[in-house]
Chains A and B, each alone.
Chain A
Amino acid sequence: MRIGMPARRHLSVRVIKRKSPTMGKELVTGNHAAGRTLAMAGEANRKARGCACGAYPITPQTEIIEYLRACELTKGRIVPVESEHSAMAVCMGASLAGARSFTASSSNGLSYMTENVFAAGYYRLPIVMIAVNRTLGPPWNIWVDQGDSLALRDAPWIQFYVESHQDLVDTILMAFRLAEDHRILLPTMVAMDGFVTSHTQMVVDLPDQEQVDRYLPNCDVPHRLRSDHPTTVGGLTWPSETERHRKDLQRAMERVPDVLDEAIDEFENVFDRKPHGILSAEHVEDADTIFVACNTMARTLRGVIKKRRESGERIGMIKAKMFRPFPRKAYRDLLSRAKKVGVLDRNHSPGSGGIFWQEIAASLQGHSGPLLQDYLVGLGGGDVTPEVIDEIIDDLAKRNQAGEPVWKEVAA
């Protein structure tokens, strides 16, 4: 199945040269925007050690890697490997040799890759990966569900969830800055909705190569393999050192919000607009009820909230964007004043509930907080329409006690 724009329409990264920033607006699919941004980031490292990546197709991510494979990079290579496990392994090797590296996957591809996803983080390699969210199978289902990337929540990766094509492009660029920053050195995942984002078109302000060159400093992996200083990377450790390794990871995670703020400021300098940060709180100041959602569900939610506010409801929302590190304090500060909080989870952790809900519950833990209710909605790509969200809002309004996560079924 192939919906959307053929990937082979704009191939060479180097030909993407435009005269003025206003000409940067283009109608593109999410996959196309992602492929192009990754390629430009790779190209931007041509004066350093170049870029190299492993790539393997899976619906709905395929067009990203088709795009990358068709690019002519000045100093780069996209290796067409035999599996996602090897795709991440090639990225790790490239990064260990000092190059910029990135890849993309979805669904079962991400779960097949899992061992090396963890390894990349434990090695502290600044790899950027696009996750095009898709339901894990079997039964097979190609539609959106965040369960694939959220299954990797315990991996040492920064995770962002984006709501639009523009958010996607901006976040990918910031992801490289974050990942490669020596205070961080963590791989970073940018997740978008399968089909809803990957295969639809939106007008996007796409950067040009010169801007990306300015925004992304040369990639320097400080612990890369080098003959003048031979080390063994990733060898054996004893418990005390492993504990130190994990604490280092935690500290690096804790530095992310500040470094992200810097990345946003610098983004504004170079691109002349301000990208979204760790989350966006909208109309929360006077809200009794606040809903939390990520990705395109947040966009639908925004429309519904706007309408209901117009009819006088004191209701607000948080668009969740950064999932790892989870900004517990920000959620606590924003949510603890509300009376009720509803979480829309397009994922399901069997035996527990929604994963965003779990994280938010943990954030509010120990604080006399709001009534917190989880809604499992849009699993397996069910269409979360404004009507569905209205029903959820009505449900929460009626409750005076939180219950088990609610399965909010939607029409196919």
Chain B
Amino acid sequence: MTDTVISSECTQCETLLRPGNTNCAGCGMSIGLQWLDKALAGDKTYLVIPACCGIVTAGAFPTTAYGTPTAASTFASAAAIATGISTVVDLNKDDHITTCWAGDGGTYDIGMATISAAAERNENLLYICYDNEIYGNTGGQRSSATPEGVATTTTPKGKAEIKKDMMAIMASHRIPYAATLSVAHHADFMRKLEIARRTKGFRFLLMLSPCPTGWKSEPAESVSLIDHAVRSGLFPLYEVFDGLRYRINIQPDGTPIDAYLERQRRYTNSTVEPKILQRHIESQWQYLNGMAKTFPADDERAAL
């Protein structure tokens, strides 16, 4: 069995993500995974990665760019395979953090039933969705995380439907912790990972992940695009505790959305006017601010 082709060896595995991985230049995963490495530095981690760019990242047999034990799962099954792993970790008091690292396709679409069930059972695992709003691995098709107006290979004239609100769905499961992550806000990112690390049960983190290949943007602008998405209010940074208590981390500063759209050719032929998007952003914030005001996170849980 030892020589069977199934496990790729990691030779120098000081870090969770090693140099030599196959990510495109400017990929949000490269930042996200390195920050994850820092945040979990003291912990042993098992990664579960479904079919998506994130597993291609590892490179091909017999080596791997992942410096931590990693299972490449079937597309829909990350949260269920992770359930099996974390169950055995807990039975054996192994003291490992079982982490899913999945794209929006594996989370919002094909993995929806699986993640919902794992959340409902409050499995002890950390689920991070790197949301590049597209099926990157298969060459750029729409997902239910693709925003309205965006051109993909399966929505050549721009997507007609709005983006699914995954945070609301996860919050409705009353999981202990859900939060959004930005690769342009290091301190906020690390703080949320620290809360996630200390929390037991199902933790969901949603990271907007720049994808120059799918977004048709400049690799060097990836971080600034995410910064723009946060400042304009398009991508709110917030946390939900127990699915009921809200905390907003950064309020929009009035930056208009236009330059965010202009810097990505996926929006070039969009029929959705910036002012309509702006209105959608406003109603989203009305809702979020309302929740945060009416149901604020209590200081104890949110202290960090």
A91 to B77, CA, bound (A): 11
List A235-253 residues whose CB lies under 8 Å from chain B.
235-238, 241-242, 244-245, 248
Contacts of B44 in A (CB 8 A): 227
* Structural contact, A93 and B82, CB atoms closer than 8 A: yes
- The verdict on B296 contacting chain A, using a C-beta distance below 8 Å, is no
* Structural contact, B117 and A232, CB atoms closer than 8 A: no
Count of chain B residues with Cβ under 8 Å from any Cβ of A? 51
Complex: chain A residue closest to B78, CB-CB: A89
- The verdict on B6 contacting chain A, using a C-beta distance below 8 Å, is yes
A248 to B92, CA, bound (A): 31
A50 to B87, CA, bound (A): 10
Contacts of A242 in B (CB 8 A): 5
Complex: chain A residue closest to B60, CB-CB: A236
A119 to B82, CA, bound (A): 15
- The verdict on A116 contacting chain B, using a C-beta distance below 8 Å, is yes
* Structural contact, B77 and A85, CB atoms closer than 8 A: yes
- The verdict on A378 contacting chain B, using a C-beta distance below 8 Å, is no
Complex: chain A residue closest to B68, CB-CB: A230
Complex: chain A residue closest to B61, CB-CB: A237
Residues of A in contact with B, size category? 35 or more
* Structural contact, B60 and A235, CB atoms closer than 8 A: yes
Instruction: Choose from B1, B56, B67 the contact partner of A124 (Cβ within 8 Å).
Output: B1
Q: Mark B148-176, 1 if CB is under 8 A from A, else 0.
A: 00000000000000000000000000000
Instruction: Choose from B61, B66, B68, B74 the contact partner of A116 (Cβ within 8 Å).
Output: B74
Shortest CB–CB separation between residue B105 and chain A, in angstroms? 15
* Structural contact, A93 and B74, CB atoms closer than 8 A: no
A267 to B58, CA, bound (A): 44
Contacts of B85 in A (CB 8 A): 93-94, 96-97, 225
Contacts of A237 in B (CB 8 A): 5, 60-61
- The verdict on B193 contacting chain A, using a C-beta distance below 8 Å, is no
Can you offer 7 A-B residue contacts whose CB atoms are under 8 A?
Answer: A225-B85, A230-B70, A231-B8, A232-B69, A233-B71, A236-B56, A236-B61
A residues engaging B (CB < 8 A)? 49-50, 52, 54, 75-77, 79-83, 85-86, 89-99, 101, 115-116, 119, 122-124, 182-183, 185, 222-223, 225-227, 230-238, 241-242, 244-245, 248
Name 5 extra pairs, CB < 8 A, besides A50-B88, A86-B77. Answer: A50-B91, A92-B73, A230-B10, A230-B69, A237-B5
